[in-house]
Amino acid sequence: MYICLCNQHRDGDLRKLAQKGIRCARAAYQALGGEPQCGRCLSFAQQIIDAIPAETPNLLPGASNSLAASD
């Protein structure tokens, strides 16, 4: 579904970026290659981003996000 008609950004594009750690609608638009034009979509775009949990970052270099034991 299109969220931003000015830039043709879709909800799926925003969700993917949110999962990668982009948590701001304006930053997501920049990553997609555009700037907000009319701005009507920004609050809804931010709601979509806020609803997606970001990936858990690796806390140690070389560490896996897996909780499985490797013994």
Q: Which residues bind ligand FES (CB under 6 A)?
A: 4-7, 36-41
37 vs 62 by CB, closer to ligand FES = 37
Provide the Cα torsion 48, 13, 21, 63; round to 10°: 130
Residue 22 Cβ vs ligand FES, minimum distance, rounded to whole Å: 16
Of 35 and 50, nearer to ligand FES (C-beta) is 35
**What kind and span of H or E run contains 2?**
strand 2-4
Residue 31 Cβ, how far from ligand FES at the closest point, in Å? 15
* Spatial contact of 32 and 7, defined as CB atoms under 8 Å apart: yes
